[in-house]
A and B are shown apart, each in its own frame.
Chain A
Amino acid sequence: MSTLTAKLAKIVLLVLASGGLYLLATHQHGQRESIRQAAVALTPDCAEKLGRYGLASGEHYQSPYVLQRTGARITARGYSDEDVRVIQRGCNIVDDTQGHLAGDADRERWNTTRFIRGTHLSCDHCHQSIGDKQDAGGNPMKGSLNLGASWAMADMYDRFTGLLLPFELRQMQCYINSSNGYKPNIADDVIRDVTAYSRFLSVALDYRIGNHHDEQGVDEIPASATPKQGDDHVRGEALYKQKCAHCHGPQAFGLEADGRVVAPALAGPNSWNMQSRNYFYYVSTILPGFICRNMPPGQENTLPNEECRDIAYYISNLPRPAGDRQGPLVALRQQMLMKVLPPLLRLTETVRNGEAPVERESGHDR
């Protein structure tokens, strides 16, 4: 009798639990669907960019940008209302991944912060100007990690892994390594929206599949592109202090103001991890390329190759998180370094300069 009751209780419990989970799932699905249907509150930059590229629903799409620059009227298939919302959300995510500009960050950004460790990183820290960086004359810039060009060139073998890497999977690598986080499921709206936005950029800027676009990725700068004096930590430190420390802080922990990131962290817990391609010891050509082509903002392409490599070398020697696949020991070491090194460095600076300690920077001590 008691076993019978126990068995019945077991079954009832299971049915209740699974029923509850099912109801929860339907509720969450409904919520997602309502977000998908809701009008999108664009960030100011997105409103400007998408407005300039004439994103609207309709039968056909003609890029005003292409028309203005080349005079060519290229007619592409148009977008539905739903397509437009998807692209708008994608633009928002790239511009403001952490949701600082959103009213309800979790809902409007599909919980992107769930997939990012730290509070700094946003897609457009690397993919600058919302993944579409142009000079004063409106020309797309070489080596500026343009998302539209990336989408057009996505179906190529990845140079470093040798794999045919779909655009969606490449985004996951961004989440895992560049933002030192976790990857969203490939079927998640986060991935789909950013893909849709990138694809829209490729249409608006007329990037054709099968062509090579200089705007895709960064211009890699190998050691052979320098006067071959070797990568120098000391030179790098001096250059960093002189050219980068104003914004990124003396220890590269970034700069925050009013809860918003002015300059992202280049080291420490808010930065990319040791498995990212930005990490000098993993791929030594990409971070120098990024610096040369994209830094400092407004004075791009002013640093010589040699200096970019030195700065990149210096930055990569600062403590940063370990990658997920490097194991618990490396992770522990890096966590320890991130805790121990900053105060030590500050102390040595103080002693060396004989001045008052530098103010604590934002970001690294949370």
Chain B
Amino acid sequence: MKSSALAAKFWLHWPTLNGNLLVGLTLALVTLPQAVAFSVTLAGVPPHFGIYAAIWGVLFCSLLNPSRVFHGGPNTAMSATIGVTLLPVAPPFGAEYMGYALTLALMAGMIQLLFFIVRPLGRMLDLISEPVINGMICGIGFFLIFRSLTTFGGLPLNTEVEWPLWIAWQSFLAVLEIGNLHAIEVGLITLIACVVVQQFDRLRNWAILFGIAAGTLYSQYLNARLGPQDTLIEQIGNLSSIGFVFPSLPSFNQEAMPDIIAILPGALTLALLGLFQTVAALRRMNRKIGGFTDSRKAIFSDAVSNCLLPFLSSLPTCASFNRMWLVHKLGNHSRIAIASSALWLLLLVLFLADLIAVIPMPAMAGIIMLLGANMINWEDIKPHLQSRPEAMVFAASFLSVLFLDLFGAVLVGSVLAIAYSKWEQAHPNISLQGNVLKIRGNLYYGSLPVIESTYHSAIARVDDVIVDFSECYYIDPEGIRWLAAVQAGTRVPFADPRRGPTRRDHERAAPPERRGGAGRRTRPRRGRPDRRRRSDF
């Protein structure tokens, strides 16, 4: 009786569940090549790190994050940060290197936890404005293209950090002069197949899969014809170590301590890059789907996941904007779909390990290049070029990624964001229309000098100045003192919306040429809710 009721319930819900599972499978197939590419080409760790991040990272995030479109998992910028931070410390793919990678991720997770516990720190992330984020995303896009150049040409990585743009140029010349031509062919075929498939709207999300299939087939053909000893195309290699759970321990022994201290800035970069992207992606998706998820909850889910993932031999996780966009596009917003993608991926990897092992590395590099190119989106850049301060912030954030390292870029980005918001606050919109000096914005110690200079030039030119601060939404004590001094010293009247006729009288009294057409627009609005501050006068 009971079981049949359960079965009936199951069949009742089957269509939704079925839909969720399908979305999950799509997500898993899209995530798999990214996970492998990020870990191998960018982070310098074996592919199972990325795959576990795409399994456990996604699962933890879907359990902890209340958003119905949030898809965690491995991330380009974070993986690249791991690679850049650890290259000077240890040789990639080695045991030591993997230990450090886990340590780095754990430290980043703990820093993120700090951002959750200390509330103002978490709030600071909301100050990171769109131009800063987009500038960094664009810069990271170029960075990814540059970084995968050597792998694309079948050459060893450059192993120490120099000026990234110079590395890029040198790597480009090296690929042209001494690159492995077979590897370049495989990479180009992957790239072109990807871009061609991307042009079909229905297949867009499968482009990466198609590209990798094309590249792999071509490299298999080359290997069959010439033999792997002549083609020398590097492949992902053995994935037999993959199992259900692969426990691991970050290295925190005494010998590693100097290196761990040396990679601390890297950990901070990693933590901040993750949180930036999570908060920004969540904010954007909130607006797209019209819901609201508190970014604090996202910070919590990221932090906890990143503290747990290093013990499951996994890369750190953060929001992936392109995969979240995919969830949104597929239309089935549910956390079940996202959690099922993790389980699908686990099944895929358990059964397709042999197939993944023959994927050539140049194909992976081609994919990373394409993802990098997709991050540079003119539609996202264009709005920032309209206003000068925004364009400057965008350019600075963009260039700092290319000219400094990622840590420098994160620092510059944070400072810029705060400086930008402060600059905006300190420059209220002041206009002299007729004899009315209208101030829109903040009236506080930072903006007073700007206001005062306009005010004094106004009273020098016009005799009967009226100060209208009815659209000041914040006045600090210093602003109040200034207003008091203004009224006490020069008997300048204030426009008061509560006694409208007074102001109109003033306007009427002013000569018509001074009043102008613009003066009429500054009529104070009635019924503003916040009158408490102005009631002092």
Interface residues of A (CB under 8 A from B): 7, 10-11, 14-15, 18, 21-22, 24-26, 28-29, 32, 111, 114-115, 169, 172, 176, 182-189, 324-325, 328
Q: Is the CB of B170 within 8 A of A114?
A: yes
Interface residues on B, range: 20 to 34
Q: Is the CB of B188 within 8 A of A325?
A: no
Set of chain B residues within 8 Å of A176, measured between Cβ atoms: 160, 162
CB distance from B169 to the nearest CB of A (A): 9
A selection of 6 A-B contacts at a CB cut-off of 8 Å is A7-B199, A26-B181, A182-B167, A186-B156, A189-B178, A324-B162
Q: Is the CB of A188 within 8 A of B162?
A: no
Contact of B163 among A18, A26, A169, A324 (CB under 8 A): A324
Q: Is the CB of A32 within 8 A of B177?
A: yes
Set of chain A residues within 8 Å of B158, measured between Cβ atoms: 183, 185
Interface 9-mer from B45-53, B189-197, B523-531: B189-197
CB distance from A171 to the nearest CB of B (A): 13
Set of chain B residues within 8 Å of A169, measured between Cβ atoms: 159
A169 to B160 CA separation, bound complex (whole angstroms):
10
Q: Is the CB of B404 within 8 A of A29?
A: no
Contact of B174 among A18, A172, A188, A328 (CB under 8 A): A188
With A25-B179, A176-B160 given, name 19 new contacts (CB 8 A).
Answer: A7-B199, A10-B195, A11-B195, A11-B196, A14-B191, A25-B181, A28-B177, A29-B177, A29-B178, A29-B181, A32-B177, A172-B160, A182-B167, A185-B158, A185-B171, A187-B178, A324-B162, A325-B162, A328-B403
CB-nearest residue of chain B to A11: B196
Contact of A183 among B160, B188, B195 (CB under 8 A): B160
A184 to B88 CA separation, bound complex (whole angstroms):
16
Whether B161 sits at the interface, judged by CB under 8 Å, is: yes
Contact of B178 among A24, A32, A172 (CB under 8 A): A32
A77 to B324 CA separation, bound complex (whole angstroms):
62
Contact of A185 among B163, B170, B181 (CB under 8 A): B170
Set of chain A residues within 8 Å of B155, measured between Cβ atoms: 185, 187
CB-nearest residue of chain A to B200: A7
Whether B185 sits at the interface, judged by CB under 8 Å, is: yes
Contact of A14 among B163, B195, B403 (CB under 8 A): B195
CB-nearest residue of chain A to B91: A163
Set of chain B residues within 8 Å of A18, measured between Cβ atoms: 188, 191-192
Set of chain B residues within 8 Å of A184, measured between Cβ atoms: 170, 174
CB-nearest residue of chain B to A168: B156
CB-nearest residue of chain A to B185: A22
Whether B184 sits at the interface, judged by CB under 8 Å, is: yes
A183 to B167 CA separation, bound complex (whole angstroms):
9
Set of chain B residues within 8 Å of A21, measured between Cβ atoms: 176, 188
Set of chain B residues within 8 Å of A328, measured between Cβ atoms: 403-404, 408
Set of chain A residues within 8 Å of B174, measured between Cβ atoms: 184-185, 187-188
CB interface residues, B 136-184, toward A, < 8 Å = 150, 155-156, 158-163, 166-167, 170-171, 173-179, 181, 184
Set of chain B residues within 8 Å of A11, measured between Cβ atoms: 192, 195-196, 199
CB distance from A125 to the nearest CB of B (A): 22
Q: Is the CB of A182 within 8 A of B199?
A: no
Set of chain A residues within 8 Å of B178, measured between Cβ atoms: 29, 32, 185, 187-189
* Chain A to chain B: the 7 pairs with minimum beta-carbon distance, closest first: A185-B174, A7-B199, A324-B162, A28-B176, A28-B177, A18-B188, A25-B176
